[in-house]
Structure 1
Amino acid sequence: MVLVDGTGHALGTAPKLSVHGRETPLHLAFSSYVFDRAGRVLLTRRATHKLTWPGVWTNSCCGHPMLGEPLDRAVLRRLSYELGLPAKRADLVLPRFSYRAVMGNGIVEHELCPVYRVTVDLAEAPNPDEVDDTRWMPWSDFAKGVLSGLLEISPWCREQVPLLTALGPDPLRWPTAPDDELPPAARVRLD
């Protein structure tokens, strides 16, 4: 995993298992929200054997880029692996989202976590190593449920939803951000 400082510059790397604990350093990650053409969002329930937030409902897919991997490609790689979704494009919508959350057992997530929107036309095929369940929900219903506190959701998703709703009511029309707004450690270019 790519470790970063508070300004988003790379500090080095560390194995994933050594990073997630009670003293989790800030590291590079991503979140993605998958939508169908009707504007429904795909929610996932994290596998119950996961180290962080097992069995918790969350946005479509989260993960970490490999060293030197552009974030949009990491999103597409993980969507294919976790949900069996072959997507062609991931659109950057929140380039500098960051959060820190602590589980009841003291394990910490601390991520610089740009957020992407992906639109698909196919049904998901969840990988049970990653996902226990999926649910499609109209974005407006989901956003209202999160904002009102009626929906139990992961802490990062709870922080992202107000920022995403500020982009507009139709997720298929959210403005995209250019890659140069990403944190420096995430500005990987492949020629």
Structure 2
Amino acid sequence: MTLEEHVVLVDLDGRALGTAPKTSVHGQATPLHLAFSSYVFDGDGRVLLTRRAEHKLTWPGVWTNSCCGHPLPGEPVAHAVLRRLSYELGLTVDRADLMLPAFSYRAQMANGIVEHELCPVFRVTVDAPVVPNPDEVGEVRWMPWKEFAEGTLSGLLAISPWCREQVPLLAELGSDPLAWQPASPDDLPPAARP
């Protein structure tokens, strides 16, 4: 028997309120919950983009950043990033750098389904091949960061709503993503602190 995955519900100050089954929180009245986004880069500063699998409940078939997910109750967010990178993209990495500790967003699909997440953003660098899990990822592609950021900021690239909000904030960190200075884990919301 497989136990159902739970997510951490949070208040507007980022404090944990409890947990709920992941399958129950994504609807028309999605409560604010803890998640993460990650951007995977190679040594040339190219960013790995993924197209969400067509059967995903939220934003199926939409291009987005490298990997998103939810920490399990009690799991450090950086550990969740590494766990999901392994599961979704076959990547074994030893470190995820915190970039945007308190990012949050709310977005609604045309069918009324809402994403509402407190979503710290991480940078990961790799030098290994990507092996996408078709249960999660429909397609992958590498793109120079400058090209991706400019396409996103200009509105020319069709990407997920959370990625559209994150890229301008990441671009403020500098033009070279490999030189971005990580944020302190102390700046994470209380529910996300190790």
Equivalences for residues 99-110 of structure 1 within 5 A: 99-110=105-116
Q: Which runs of 5+ in 2 are unaligned?
A: 1-6
Q: What count of residue pairs does the alignment treat as equivalent?
A: 188
The alignment's C-alpha RMSD in Å is 0.4
Runs ≥4 in structure 1, deviation > 2 angstroms? Answer: none
Cα distance in 2, alignment partners of residues 180 and 174 from structure 1: 18
Partner of residue 172, structure 1: 178
State the SS of the aligned residue for 2:139.
strand
1:87 Cα deviation after fit: 0.8
1:87-145 Cα deviation digits (max 9, x unpaired): 11000000000000000000000000000000000010000000000000000000000
Distance in 2 (alpha carbons) for counterparts of 1:155 and 1:94: 16
Residue 12 of structure 2 corresponds to residue 10 of structure 1: no
**Structure 2 letter corresponding to 1:78:** R
1:121-180 per-position Cα deviation (integer Å, ceiling 9, x unaligned): 001000000000000000000000000000000000000000000000000011101111
1:52 to 58, 77, 85: 58
The normalised TM-score by structure 1 is 0.98
TM (norm. structure 2) is 0.96
1:26 aligns with 2:21: no
The percent identity for this pair of structures is: 76
SS in 2 for 1:14: strand
Q: Specify the alignment match of 1:129 in structure 2.
A: 135
Question: Structure 2: which amino acid aligns with 1:92?
Answer: L
Distance (Å, rounded) in 1 between the aligned partners of 2:109 and 2:181? 33
Question: Residue 145 of structure 1 corresponds to which residue in structure 2?
Answer: 151
Candidates 65, 80, 83, aligned match of 1:77: 83
- Alpha-carbon distance in structure 2 between the residues aligned to 1:66 and 1:132: 24
Counterpart among 73, 76, 85 of residue 67 in structure 1? 73
Question: Is structure 2 residue 70 aligned with structure 1 residue 89?
Answer: no
Structure 1 letter corresponding to 2:144: P
Q: 2:41 maps to what in 1?
A: 35
CA distance in 2, matches of 1:19, 1:186: 18
CA distance in 2, matches of 1:87, 1:149: 32
Letter in 2 for 1:183: P
Amino acid paired to 1:6:
L
Q: Residue 3 of structure 2 corresponds to which residue in structure 1?
A: none
Where structure 1 has 5 or more consecutive residues not aligned to the other structure, the ranges are none
Report the AA paired with residue 127 of structure 1: N
> Where does residue 122 of structure 2 map in the other structure?
116
